[in-house]
Amino acid sequence: MSELDLVVKGGTVVTAADTFPADVGIVDGVVVALGRGLEGDEVIDATGKLVLPGGIDSHTHIEQLSSAGVMNADDFHSATVSAAFGGTTTTMSFAAQHRGMAIPDVVAEYHDRAAPKAVIDYAFHLIMSDPTPEALGEHLPAAVAQGIPSVKLYMTYDRLRCTDDQILDVLSAARAQGALTMVHAENHDMIGWMSNRVVGAGNTLPRYHAACHTRGAEAEAINRVIALAELVDAPILVVHVSTIEGIEEIRRARARGLKVYGETCPQYLFLTADDLDRDGLDGAMFCCSPPPRDEFAQEACWAGLADTTLSVYSSDHSPFRHDHTGKLPKGTETTFKDIANGVPGLELRLPMLFTHGVGAGRMTLAEFVRLTATNHAEIYGLHPRKGTIAVGSDADLAIWDPDHEVTITHEMIHDNVGYTPFAGHELKGWPTTVLSRGEVIVAGGEMHAERGRGQFLARGPSPASQPLGRQIPELDMMDRWGTPFRP
């Protein structure tokens, strides 16, 4: 008997800091040793392979109702199986409050959905669309105490969006709990005004979705929410950033020292608005909000990742089938305004970035690990348990063959969506064996994990989610006048 349960032997370990040859020794699902010549009861030969921290996808929609009431095509089983095949070992998805719903019921419901089905570990963010005094004063603090210290707000979508004063309420309440606010930033009225006129003139095809969700709608909303966050000294993370102008807003805010984080997604690096311009309703498969833009915006996203304006690369996996159950609720009568928004991307997130990022010389292996795992763990309070390979961290590993070549077809993807927007991409680099807490869950192209083995990850507030504690001149003024005001 060896002291180690399992050794991943002979590979090249990659972390956010270093790339080095090492064996990884595991006991009870935890990394206990990194070194040379380790022996264990079981050995996985990783010669010629990279050993990466399993991916963390901090923005996914799983078994969630859309704002229009359409259920995602993936449940927690199909989504987490698909994630695992792509080298992702932790998902973060949403417990979504629609107007009128009580947050404690919502959270309980999502726990019930996930626990019996997930094959990898998972965490939740809250979505708040109804920030009543009770929700802000009791339910949000309770959710944070139960391990959900992040909340997403929408500035658009009729049934989810918050007004600016509601956003300020949530930012203040989240700040008080040390929670991070994630924001879907698009100007609702700009999009609505454009869309109504365009549909009114009889233009209903999916391609008009890309035209109506204008670049300015994103940039204006990002600018506005940064101003709101600055007023109450609350950190924010702007999700799915797609435009040159939006990235510029975040870059400027960060240069001023504000805690403003940004995220981009595969659809903004690898798709363009032209993908929506297909025969009939086929473009619906590429309809997401914000929409893919053009090659200049793609370059801006790459540059934003390179200079850390954008800290995380997530899938925004939002699975809907291309039929009446999802994308096309009104069949052939579906206009671009009715299409369920979102594209699938959980499984291909890492392989796409590896080929087009590392393989193309756009980023180092360490940057790849930061963008796919470590930064997610640090920002959302999972580090160092997740997102790295270090003594004491969970043995969540993607053993990666950098030479394995694959041409993407939708048949090879394990989600329940029926198409992939990335079909035809020729990729080099693929996870061959995936471990979650030391258990081999994917090997030889097969899934080995039991339904429900995934664990809920109760998170704590992270350093990234703490307020700056900055002086706010307007509030100082009121202090001087003897009328203190604290957000």
Site for Zn ion in 371-430 (CB under 5 A): none
Among 342, 344, 345, 351, binds ligand DUC (CB under 6 A): 342
Of the two residues 261 and 286, which places its CB atom closer to ligand DUC in the complex? 286
CA angle 393, 395, 401 (to 5 degrees): 125
R_g over Cα of the chain: 22
Site string for Zn ion, 91-130 (x = CB under 5 A): ----------------------------------------
Site for Zn ion in 157-186 (CB under 5 A): 184
Among 23, 218, 249, 316, binds ligand DUC (CB under 6 A): 316
Name the packing angle between helices 295-306 and 244-255 (round to 10°): 20
Give the residue among 367, 320, 309, 364 at the shortest CA–CA distance from 342. Answer: 320
Q: How far is the CB of 272 from Zn ion (least distance, A)?
A: 19
Alpha helices in 120-162 (DSSP H): 133-134, 140-145
Site for ligand DUC in 28-87 (CB under 6 A): 61
Bridge-based pairing of strands 439-443 and 446-447 is antiparallel
Q: How far is the CB of 405 from ligand DUC (least distance, A)?
A: 30
Give the Cα separation of 325 and 37 in Å (integer).
54
Q: Which does 288 bind (CB under 5 to 8 A by kind): ligand DUC, Zn ion, none?
A: ligand DUC
User: Which residue, chain included where needed, has tokens 């929670």?
Assistant: 179
Q: How far is the CB of 61 from ligand DUC (least distance, A)?
A: 5
Of the two residues 416 and 455, which places its CB atom closer to Zn ion in the complex? 416
445: CB partners within 8 A, 6+ apart: none
Of the two residues 154 and 368, which places its CB atom closer to ligand DUC in the complex? 154
Enter the tokens of residue 455. Answer: 């664990």
Q: How far is the CB of 437 from Zn ion (least distance, A)?
A: 27
Of the two residues 186 and 394, which places its CB atom closer to Zn ion in the complex? 186
Q: Which does 293 bind (CB under 5 to 8 A by kind): ligand DUC, Zn ion, none?
A: none
Give the Cα separation of 168 and 487 in Å (integer).
9
420 CB burial (10 A radius; 0-12, 13-18, 19+): buried
Q: How far is the CB of 184 from ligand DUC (least distance, A)?
A: 5
CB-based contact 131:169 (threshold 8 Å): yes
Give the Cα separation of 178 and 235 in Å (integer).
9
Q: How far is the CB of 36 from Zn ion (least distance, A)?
A: 43
Q: How far is the CB of 156 from ligand DUC (least distance, A)?
A: 8
Enter the tokens of residue 419. Answer: 């198409």
CB-based contact 442:287 (threshold 8 Å): no
Which DSSP string corresponds to 389-405? -STTSB--EEEEEEEEE
Work out whether 263 is an interface residue with Zn ion (CB under 5 A).
Answer: no
Give the Cα separation of 89 and 76 in Å (integer).
13
Q: Which does 49 bind (CB under 5 to 8 A by kind): ligand DUC, Zn ion, none?
A: none
Work out whether 288 is an interface residue with ligand DUC (CB under 6 A).
Answer: yes
Backbone φ and ψ for 289, nearest 5 degrees, come out as -125, 125
470: CB partners within 8 A, 6+ apart: 233, 257
Of the two residues 62 and 365, which places its CB atom closer to ligand DUC in the complex? 62
Q: How far is the CB of 450 from Zn ion (least distance, A)?
A: 28
Q: Which does 341 bind (CB under 5 to 8 A by kind): ligand DUC, Zn ion, none?
A: ligand DUC
Q: Which does 372 bind (CB under 5 to 8 A by kind): ligand DUC, Zn ion, none?
A: none
Enter the tokens of residue 75. Answer: 């449940």
Work out whether 275 is an interface residue with Zn ion (CB under 5 A).
Answer: no
List beta partners, residue 397: 53, 435
CB-based contact 16:363 (threshold 8 Å): no
Q: How far is the CB of 263 from ligand DUC (least distance, A)?
A: 12
Work out whether 316 is an interface residue with Zn ion (CB under 5 A).
Answer: yes
Residue whose C-beta lies closest to Zn ion: 184
Q: How far is the CB of 66 from Zn ion (least distance, A)?
A: 10
Residues that bind ligand DUC (rule: CB under 6 A) add up to a total of 8
Max CA distance (Å), the chain:
75
Give the Cα separation of 429 and 406 in Å (integer).
8
Q: Which does 414 bind (CB under 5 to 8 A by kind): ligand DUC, Zn ion, none?
A: none
Hey, is 292 helix, strand or coil?
coil
Of the two residues 317 and 385, which places its CB atom closer to ligand DUC in the complex? 317
Q: How far is the CB of 29 from Zn ion (least distance, A)?
A: 30
Site for ligand DUC in 150-189 (CB under 6 A): 184
Work out whether 312 is an interface residue with ligand DUC (CB under 6 A).
Answer: no
CA distances from 357 to 5, 296, 319, 371 (A): 35, 16, 24, 11
Q: How far is the CB of 413 from ligand DUC (least distance, A)?
A: 18
Of the two residues 156 and 433, which places its CB atom closer to ligand DUC in the complex? 156
Of the two residues 341 and 388, which places its CB atom closer to ligand DUC in the complex? 341
Provide the phi-psi class of 386: left if phi over 0, else alpha when psi is between -120 and 50, else beta.
beta
Binding site for Zn ion (CB under 5 A): 184, 316
Binding site for ligand DUC (CB under 6 A): 61, 184, 288-289, 316, 318, 341-342
